Structure 1
Amino acid sequence: MHKLYDFMEARERLGTVIEKTKLIYSGIFSDESGNEVYIKPENLQRTGSFKVRGAYNKIAKLSDEEKGKGVIAASAGNHAQGVALAAQKLGIKAVIVMPKHSPLIKVEATKKFGAEVILVGDVYDDAYKYARELQEKEGYTFVHPFDDEDVIEGQGTIALEVLEEVPDADIILVPIGGGGLVSGVACAAKLKNPLIKIIGVEPEGAASALAAVKNNQVVALDEANTIADGTAVKRIGDTTFNYIKKYVDDIVTVSDYELMETFLLLVEKHKLVAENSGILSIAGLKKLNVKNKKIVSILSGGNIDVLTISSMINKGLINRKRIFTFSVDLPDKPGQLVAVSEILAAQNANVVRLEHNQFKNLNRFHDVELQVTVETYGEEHINKIVEVLNEKGYIVKKLNS
């Protein structure tokens, strides 16, 4: 276990390498949670995530002999870029083993930092196995994404920055994947302020840390099923488990739907783009049974592709009742479509899509089914639209509620 000066030395080590990601006060998440909420935007970090902190700290502490032989890592995501950038900054060789089907954008980003990328196997486990074989053969130092003391130490520098800006913070919320980030942040924060609460946040479909705490030992989940792919870890580390037991006060879980809703608010209100794993700690705000506390949510990463962004926004709109799809049956005679359109216009519902299909309704021969998608202000607005349509004699079938 680390001492406070270990983290302070790590911070000095990282001084010229990392971006200073200043806290952002969040009016929207403060209002929604009833607390004073700040966001630590590590999505704005170099490589787009916090991972460069732990990777650089680990590699910088290697002996000259170890540096001369180079480093190796297995990763399909943020860790790959963190190790590649750290090695480039230190002028040493880095080999990154990634699964064959890794997103091309992540492969190219890793190569851009000067690393040699080897594509092996269909899943992470295949890449990890091959990386370990190469490590033995070539004498590289293996840089683990989370289960490593020096990596944990590097991640803990985030807590020092947080408490420098908000020394009287009551709670820090931290995403949990393998446990490296929460271990470092929890240890450093508690050494600085023993009264602070550290709460980890996991996706419901991959709550491996919560399972370990409940069983009082590290366990492997049967599956890790979540849109938060960066934290889809079936088994946390043995080292990180010890830190979690000692320093983490609680672990909460959030659903994929809650992540979608949080993503939308973050983009809309803060103009911040984050990956699904990165926003766990913000989505977790709703799971806290506290009010009027100073809370910092660590937004851990922002590496997300454009198609996923589009999907997350659309699903977030639906989840927050900002998009409403419904159908009504209309008599098959002129003027009916105009009548419905006028009702919607009077209610300030912006029509996004409209499908008028006289062949779709098989139950009533003389009727036509009209499917409509509208933008709304939220649930109250939807209820008002339905109420007015009902008053005009239309039976509304909700299709996305």
Structure 2
Amino acid sequence: MTVPSPLAHNNLPICLADVEAAAIAIEGAVIRTPCLRSETLSQVTGADVWLKFENLQFTAAYKERGALNKLLSLTPEERARGVIAASAGNHAQGLAYHARRLGIPATIVMPRFTPIVKVQQTEGHGAHVVLHGEKFEDADAHAHELAAKRGFVFVHPFDDARVMAGQGTVGLEMLADVPDLDMLVVPIGGGGLISGISTVAKALKPGIEVIGVEAELYPSMYALMKGQTMVCDGDTLAEGIAVKTPGVLTSQVVRALVDDIVLVGERDLETAVSMLLTIEKTVVEGAGAAGLAALLAHPRRFRGLKVGLVLCGGNIDTRLLANVLLRELARSGRLARLRIRLKDRPGALFEVARIFDQQQVNIIEIYHQRVFTNLPAKGLITDIECETRDRDHLDRLIEALRAASYEVRSIETD
């Protein structure tokens, strides 16, 4: 169990003065990211939406703030011993980057099946990476063992007062830039970010609401606050907030200062990632898009309010991002796969293609299927992937095919 920090005030692990001290300590070493209004997202959601672009940090995530504040608090003897952390994501890169800047040896323990790109990025910041265990819990236990055996200083990704105070500088900047915000919507994993932000928000503007967001697959803080037992498992796009056990210190702050926690599903997370790229032209990972996903999933909760969203990270695998974008195009009708039953005779495919041409629909791929089908031997199925302008355009194409007596159905995404 984590021992409460000597920074504690008013029975909570941190206070406004701790965050203000962190802001002074890290100034100039992290980017003071912009907080800008989104005209289009405001129109779409019905809220007055302001975005805090933490994905513009050097390591593309806010985690640098807390990691640096912790590193700066170390004594010369602790710096010489070096630091260690268990992380497969943004905490690893933020800690490694600033440890190298400060000349502090850093070791990061990651599960063995961590994507190689994350391993390489962390090593690229000068850290020694140890691959251990199948799951994060295995890596975390091994990191504690190494800390005890070799004298490393363990740097927790969220359940540490110095880390929480560093993360709170995000909120300090948001309220300095947009002091009349009605609400802050903050992703929750272990709770470090929302603990720091809510500490600032409630001290500077007691009437402001602070709303946390978790993925439906990992409702750990939500369950703790509600006194419920809920399963935390599954493959979520918001892997950065896929935490099974919230922090001890962070839970104290969330219980005292956070007004509500909402859950979001995978489809809303995918839509939010896609919208931020296509509308705001900014790359955001699933966890970073959780705030916008909340506005999409619970529109009445936020409509008419001036809302600040934290785009807390932008480290998303490019192949995953491509899949998300293509799935959103399919859901909107701009990409489609149509399954059409044809007669096996010369010119059959040409006649179908002619209808696509008449409707000004672009054909991308054609798949003929003669063998693996329950149609008669002289029948065949063709799947045609195509590109349309929108859902109405796709519907007109399907109507035209059916009017020409073709049996056709759309192969929908989930």
1:178-232 CA-to-partner distances (Å, cap 9, x unmatched) read 111111112212212112111111111111111111117xx68453442322221
Point out the more displaced range, 51-60 or 331-340.
Answer: 331-340
Matched AA of 2:266 = D
Instruction: Tell whether the 8 Å contact from 2:219 to 2:230 is kept in structure 1 after alignment.
Output: no
Partner of 1:369: 381
- 1:152 corresponds, among 164, 168, 193, to 164
> Which residue pairs with 2:81 in the alignment?
69
Match of 1:354 in 2: 366
Report the residue type matching 2:206 in the other structure.
P
Match of 1:104 in 2: 116
Aligned equivalents of 1:115, 1:361: Cα separation in 2:
54
Cα separation, 1, equivalents of 2:37 and 2:386: 32
Q: Which residue is equivalent to 1:188?
A: 200
1:285 aligns with 2:295: yes
Instruction: Tell me, yes or no, if the aligned pair for 2:217 and 2:231 is still in contact at 8 Å.
Output: no
1:97–1:128 contact (8 Å) kept in structure 2: yes
State how 1:47-62 maps to structure 2 within 5 Å.
Answer: 47-62=59-74
Whichever residue aligns with residue 250 of structure 1, its letter is D
Tell me, yes or no, if the aligned pair for 1:220 and 1:235 is still in contact at 8 Å.
no
Aligned to 1:237: 247
Q: 2:115 & 2:240 partners in 1: Cα distance?
A: 13
Q: What residue number does 2:274 align with?
A: 264
1:38 aligns with 2:43: no
Correspondence 1:118-129 to 2 at 5 A: 118-129=130-141
- Count of aligned residue pairs for this structure pair: 399
**Secondary structure at the counterpart of residue 205 of structure 1:** coil
Tell me the equivalent position of 1:274.
284
Residue 383 (str. 1) matches residue 406 (str. 2): no
TM-score scaled to structure 2, two decimals? 0.90
CA–CA separation in structure 2 for the residues paired with 1:306 and 1:271: 15
Farther-moved stretch of structure 1 (152-161 vs 241-250): 241-250
Structure 1: segments with no counterpart, 5+ residues: none
Aligned-pair CA distance for 1:364: 4.2
Change (3 A) 1:346 1:186: farther
- Distance in 2 (CA, whole Å) between partners of 1:95 and 1:230 is 20
What letter corresponds to residue 231 of structure 1 in structure 2?
Answer: I
Structure 2 residue 338 is the aligned partner of structure 1 residue 326: yes
Give 1:198-209 correspondences, 5 Å limit.
198-209=210-221
- Give the CA RMSD over aligned residues: 2.0
**Aligned counterparts of 1:305 and 1:349: Cα–Cα separation in 2:** 31
* Displacement after TM superposition at 1:156 (Å): 0.6
Q: Distance in 2 between matches of 1:315 and 1:84?
A: 34
CA contact (8 A) 2:237 2:270 kept: no
Residues 160 and 348 from structure 1, CA distance in 2 versus in 1: closer, same or farther, beyond 3 angstroms?
farther
2:32 is matched with: 20
Q: Which amino acid aligns with 2:366?
A: L
- Confirm or deny: 8 A CA contact 1:224 1:234 kept in the other structure: no
- Contact between 1:57 and 1:154, CA under 8 Å: does it hold in 2? yes
Shift of residue 18 of structure 1?
0.6
Q: Percent identity?
A: 38
Specify whether residues 312 and 90 from structure 1 end up closer, same or farther in structure 2 by C-alpha distance, changes over 3 A only.
same
Task: Measure how far apart 1:399 and its partner are.
Answer: 1.0
The structural deviation recorded for 1:360 is 5.1
Q: 2:386 is aligned with what amino acid?
A: V
Cα offset, 1:366, TM superposition: 4.0
Deviation at 1:264, TM superposition (A): 1.9
Using the TM superposition, give the Cα deviation of residue 326 of structure 1 relative to its aligned residue in structure 2, in angstroms: 1.5
Q: Distance in 2 between matches of 1:214 and 1:378?
A: 42
What's the CA shift string for 1:290-320, capped at 9, x where partnerless? 3222212111111122222222222222233
Structure 2 CA distance for aligned equivalents of residues 298 and 222 of structure 1:
23
Q: Which runs of 5+ in 2 are unaligned?
A: 1-11
Moved over 4 A (4+): 358-361
Q: Normalising to structure 1: TM-score of the pair? A: 0.93
Report the Cα offset of residue 113 of structure 1.
Answer: 1.9
Deviation digits for residues 15-61 of structure 1 (CA, Å, limit 9, x no counterpart): 11111211233233222211221221211112111111011111111
